[in-house]
Amino acid sequence: MEKGSSNPENLAKYIQFPNGYPKMIIEIGVARGGTTAMSKVLACSPSFDAFGEDILRNAITYPKDQGRDPISIQMPGENNHVFLKETYGPSTESMISYYPLLVWQLAAERAGISEKEFIQKTRVLGVTRDPLAIYNGWLKYWTIIKGLTSIDEAFEKFGQLSLTNLIAAYNCFSGTVLSALDQGLETNVVVAKMFENSAQGVEGVIQKICDKIGIEFTHDMVMFQDSKKEQKIDLYPVSVDSKYKGLHKQIDDRGFRYLPPNYNYSDEILPSLQKAGLMQCYRVLHHIAEHTFGQVGLPSYMT
Cis peptide bond prior to 237, omega within 30° of 0: no
The answer to whether the beta carbons of residues 124 and 185 sit under 8 Å apart is: yes
Mean pLDDT over each residue of the chain, to the nearest integer: 88
**How high is the pLDDT of residue 58?**
87
pLDDT confidence tier of residue 1, bands split at 50, 70 and 90? very low
Question: Which whole number is the average pLDDT over 86-112?
Answer: 90
Question: Which whole number is the average pLDDT over 146-153?
Answer: 93
pLDDT tens readout for residues 19-75: 999 999 999 999 999 898 898 889 889 999 999 989 998 888 888 888 889 989 999
